[in-house]
Copies of this chain bind each other. A is one copy, B any other.
Amino acid sequence: MEEELKCTVKHQDIIERVKTKMPKEEILFDIAELFKVFGDTTRMKIICCLFESEMCVCDIAELINATQSAVSHQLRVLKQAKLVKYRKEGKVVYYSLSDRHVEIIFNMALEHIQEM
């Protein structure tokens, strides 16, 4: 790891400054994990469904044209990331977004995409 690096540029002042301002390793990891969850088309579609209203699993599956199983697996990922919450009504489970951040983050990305 060190041996391979022969570069000697090292703007030491900048390096020091950045080092102090850089978020902790653990926070960077968590943020990357969060973005990883957004980084899948199926999950992105599910999230978009939920912008409108809460929705049950089989409606989501129909809407995004995926199997019930695939949707259920991905909802679990979203649930673990605390991006969605759910309520049960008999045998039907209704999912919804857990907070407004999701939509804000989505819109920022959309804006970035559309400017390119």
Contact A53 B14 (CB under 8 A): yes
Name the CB-closest residue of B to A4.
B67
* Contacts of A59-86 to chain B: CB distance below 8 A: 59, 61-63, 65-69, 82
Contact B32 A67 (CB under 8 A): no
A109 CB contacts on chain B under 8 angstroms: 31, 34-35, 105
Q: How many copies does the complex hold?
A: 2
> B14, B39, B53: which contacts A36 (Cβ < 8 A)?
B39
Interface CB pairs A-B, < 8 A, 14: A4-B67, A4-B68, A5-B67, A7-B59, A10-B62, A14-B52, A18-B49, A18-B53, A28-B44, A35-B36, A35-B38, A36-B39, A37-B39, A101-B108
With A9-B59, A19-B63, A35-B109 given, name 18 new contacts (CB 8 A): A4-B67, A7-B68, A11-B55, A14-B59, A15-B59, A15-B63, A18-B55, A28-B48, A31-B38, A31-B106, A31-B109, A34-B39, A34-B113, A35-B44, A36-B39, A36-B40, A39-B39, A105-B105
